[in-house]
Amino acid sequence: MKRILVGIKRVVDYNVRIRVKPDNTGVITDGVKMSVNPFDEIALEEALRIKERGGAEEVVVATVGPADTQAQLRTALAMGADRALHVQADGIIEPLTAARTLLKLVEKEQPFLVILGKQAIDDDNGQTGQVLAALWNRPQATYASKIELTDTTARVTREVDAGLETIEVDLPAVITTDLRLNEPRYVKLPDIMKAKKKPLETLQLAALGIEPRQQLKLARFEPPPQRQKGIRVKDAAELVEALKKKGLL
């Protein structure tokens, strides 16, 4: 079966104002709205469009996270994914652990394509897709703004610093999605109800032979400093003089 595996991550909703804990050990998540990482929604939308065009027969969505992450998997199922895989794990999941876990799911599901968001909006690491491709020993095409598939290859237009770059990779492959690839569909109430009946398999990290190792210690969280009040200048000369006084010129 031609199958696409899509990895998603649970993050604080992008509309929520982030607040740091009083002891500076992290951000407040209790009672805060959580959502699917926006870039991962784009990845899922692209997988669904590929399936709707006849390029795939099944879309499987997967995540690694605590028990309540199933709410985001149900959202993905409501968007149109056929099945969901939940690898249950508590604590911080770093990109290497996430990639090793996804590799186990790749070996289990045998997809011809794995699509991930280019990064998560909580940690902004942007590493999981690249690490997965290296562990899987398959090609990667990152920051995709356009994807064209044939039976054996993927032609991907990438957003790079100099503009757009088009590459062609053999399948199976890993693709990470950029912001302008598509606009995810709106989930309707009937789809949410149907999603409750779709299969959602729960796996344990230890059962996959993965031992999470935290290689990066987060020492302290601080909110950004408050913006200082601006000043109004009469002309360019006064602007230059004000910048000189601040040591900016």
DSSP 17-32: PP-B-TTSSSB--TT-
Other C-beta atoms closer than 10 Å to the C-beta of 13 total 12
Question: Model pTM?
Answer: 0.86
Half-sphere exposure of 127 (CA within 13 A, CB side): 11
Domain-wise residue ranges, the chain: 3-222
Contact between 39 and 117 under an 8 Å Cβ cutoff? The reply is: yes
- Please tell me the predicted confidence (pLDDT) of residue 231: 81
Per-residue pLDDT reduced to its tens digit, 128-150: 999 999 999 999 999 999 999 99
Task: Tell me what pLDDT residue 158 has.
Answer: 94
User: Right CATH number for 3-222 from 1.20.59.20, 3.40.50.620, 3.40.50.1580, 1.10.150.120?
Assistant: 3.40.50.620
* Under 8 Å between Cβ of 118 and 177: yes
pLDDT of residue 134: 97
- Which parts of the chain have pLDDT scores under 70? none
Question: What pLDDT does 1 receive?
Answer: 79
The pLDDT value given to residue 153: 95
